Chain A
Amino acid sequence: MTRYRLLQIVLVVLVLAYPLVVAGSPVWARLGALVLLAAIGASAWNIVGGYAGQVSVGHSVFFGIGAYSAVVTYTYLGLPPIAGAPIGMALSVLVAAVIGVPTLKLSGHYFSMATIAVAELVRVLSSTSEFLGGAQGLGGPPVPRGVLDLSFISATPYYYIFLAVLAGLLWLTHMIERGRMGFYLRAIKDSERAARSLGVSAGRYKLYAYMLSAAFTALAGSLYLTMFGFVDPESGFGILISVKMVVMAALGGAGQLFGPLVGALILVPLEELSNSYLGGQGAGLTFVVYGAIIVIIARFLPSGLLSLFQRRRQVTSRASKTVDGHAD
């Protein structure tokens, strides 16, 4: 137990000190920030996709709403982009209710397909909207006007902002996981019919999870905008944004607190390093490897990487139970 505690402390110190450790290299600092940003998006998805088992493949709707809210706040009101984050979150919750009420009644693949269609609808509409800058998209402040614009050259400030948000989100998820709602969501995931028959209002809890997940996905979108300073229909509402959230969470372990973070830790470096080291002709090859790794993990660890450790823990706990049994 003490060894476990020690490991935890070392990990926390390592995470906190990471930008200082790699201070010499902007590439690595940026990579750290990108991993955390992706982990925020995937962890937000995890609430509804992992815990409640409602596999949305259209979360880019909320990501895009967050990103566009931030940039619109800057473009039309002249405020710092991050001021748009609460607006984006509120709007996302509203949109989630509108999308969720009809689509959450659908089961399994049909829900996934419906969310894809809604996201595509929003993407096409956004590219025809002049208010949102059409297919060209909109840009944030070209030159930072103050600290509140959150526009930094170094990636280190982003790293700590994203880390704080991710920590908050994971804490909240942990609280849900342990609370009544967590039990309800797991029950719904295992068997919605059984959960209903035991008096869980499944529809309502699925919707709560969906709205909460939407709010944090929007926050990830707003944060994305502060770092990249630009959004267009493809980078905001594109299907790849949605799929990446699903894939990261599934790779690490969906429905587990740290699953999405583990997924992001693997996929983001793979993608970024391949982009920076193998531009041009070689680009295809690295994504071939990326795809192959995903296939292999899906084939041999269908419940995600974290299931490796979980299996071991289950074995040990079963072993300790038998010991207890013998003691009785």
Chain B
Amino acid sequence: MSMTLVQVVVSGLLLGAVYALFSSGLTLIWGMMNVVNFAHGDFVMLGMYTAVMIWTALGGGPWASVPAAAMLIATLGIASYFLLVRHIMRGPMLAQILGTFGLALFLRYGALWTFGANFKTLPDDLVGHSFILAGIRFEGARVLAGVVGLAVTLALHLLLTRTAIGSRMLAVSEDATAAQLMGIRPQRMQALAWGMAGAATGIAGALIATFFYTSPTVGETLAIVAFVTVSFGGFGSVLGALVAGLIIGVVESLSAYLIGPVYKDVIVYILFVLVLWFRPQGLMGKA
């Protein structure tokens, strides 16, 4: 394997870890209460703007913006749950699409109104310069994003599968009434899920902003990636989102390198449709 190919795979993995992180919030919500959040991409967008604002106002880097974005988007998630989602989650699926898409427009154009339509970028050397290790070139911002993305996604997975609070959340997602009889408050757990999903999404946004342009409509593109990652990995499975994110990241950068940048999305979508065809529940979803 040539060095370039290794380089391509490594950058694909780093990108994939970020995909995994910003998709894990979506999969958590989807699995917990069978709601698809069409505003998810716009949550990421607001996380990105948080990073941009913190840099322009205070000159702070990711060390400041990541926790700030996590808290801010977690609050937004919890607020969305109590004000909107709680009321529409038992309704028809169309009401969920209608409600969360309305929320998406609200946030997207709120951002346009507040920040303007211009693309904003953070300085290249905010996270540190690129460096060469074992013959592979690494960009500081992408390494940070990839490593934090991997760590937070894994932490979320462990939290859901290995802790008492995770078991409680799982119980609510399996059967909210039975969980209530066991002394678990479903609403509290669901609000917590929205908070955790929001925090993960905010972190992802703040990290993406360090190497990607920020604009009010960036969420639309990101949301499609998240939908694909989540359906690919299997709904409700954070581990599935992690594996799917990494696969998509690697497939994207490999096909961009081997076939051409235009076709990277084509390959990913074809792969996705094939997975759905042969394994409708996704890689790690429950049938």
Contacts and interface: CB of A to CB of B under 8 A. Distances in A.
Interface of A: 49, 55, 57, 102-103, 105-110, 112-114, 116-118, 120-121, 124-125, 127-128, 239-240, 243, 246-247, 249-251, 254, 281, 283-288, 290-299, 302-303
B112 A250 contact: no
A247 B95 CA distance: 9
Residue of B87, B107, B273 ringed by the most chain A CB atoms within 10 A: B273
B76 to A, nearest CB: 14
Interface in B109-139: 109-114
A293 B99 CA distance: 10
Given A117-B227, A243-B97, A284-B112, 6 more contacts: A106-B276, A239-B220, A240-B220, A297-B98, A298-B99, A299-B84
17 contacts: A55-B94, A102-B273, A110-B280, A110-B281, A112-B97, A114-B273, A117-B269, A120-B269, A124-B266, A124-B269, A240-B220, A246-B94, A284-B216, A288-B105, A291-B106, A294-B98, A298-B95
A247 B110 contact: no
Nearest to A254: B94
Which 10 A-B pairs rank lowest in CB-CB distance, beginning with the nearest? Answer: A294-B102, A284-B113, A291-B105, A291-B106, A298-B99, A287-B109, A302-B91, A302-B95, A284-B112, A295-B102
A127 B272 CA distance: 20
Contacts of A116: 224, 227
Given A285-B109, A287-B105, A121 B269 contact: yes
B84 A117 contact: no
A117 B273 contact: yes
A6 B218 CA distance: 50
B276 A103 contact: yes
Most chain-B Cβ atoms within 10 A of its Cβ — which of A108, A121, A128? A121
Contact of A293 (B93, B102, B262, B276): B102
A57 B97 contact: yes
B108 interface: yes
A100 to B, nearest CB: 12
B269 A251 contact: no
Contact of B105 (A118, A127, A294): A294
Contacts of B9: none
Contacts of A296: 102
A314 B185 CA distance: 35
B97 A246 contact: yes
B88 interface: yes
Interface of B: 30, 34, 36, 38, 83-84, 87-88, 91-99, 101-114, 216, 220, 224, 227-228, 230-231, 235, 262-263, 265-266, 269-270, 272-273, 276-277, 280-281
A121 B224 contact: no
Contacts of A249: 94
Contacts of A117: 227-228, 231, 269, 272-273, 276
Nearest to B276: A114
Contacts of B220: 239-240
Contacts of A293: 102
Contacts of A251: 98
Most buried by B among A108, A113, A121, A283: A113
B231 A302 contact: no
B94 A250 contact: yes
Nearest to B110: A288
Given A114-B276, A120-B265, A121-B266, A291 B103 contact: yes
A297 B98 CA distance: 8
Contacts of B102: 247, 291-298
Contacts of B36: 109, 112-113
B97 A55 contact: yes
B2 to A, nearest CB: 27
Contacts of B230: 113
Contacts of A118: 269, 273
Q: Which of B98, B111, B270 has the most chain A CB atoms closer than 10 A to its own CB?
A: B98
Contacts of B99: 294-295, 298-299, 302
Nearest to B103: A295
Contacts of A114: 231, 273, 276
A299 B265 CA distance: 35
A55 B96 CA distance: 12
Contacts of B38: 243
Contact of B95 (A250, A283, A284): A250
B37 to A, nearest CB: 11
Contacts of A124: 262, 265-266, 269
A239 B98 CA distance: 15
B280 A108 contact: no
Contacts of B92: 254, 302-303
A239 B281 CA distance: 23
B125 to A, nearest CB: 32
Contacts of A57: 97
B28 to A, nearest CB: 14
A246 B98 CA distance: 8
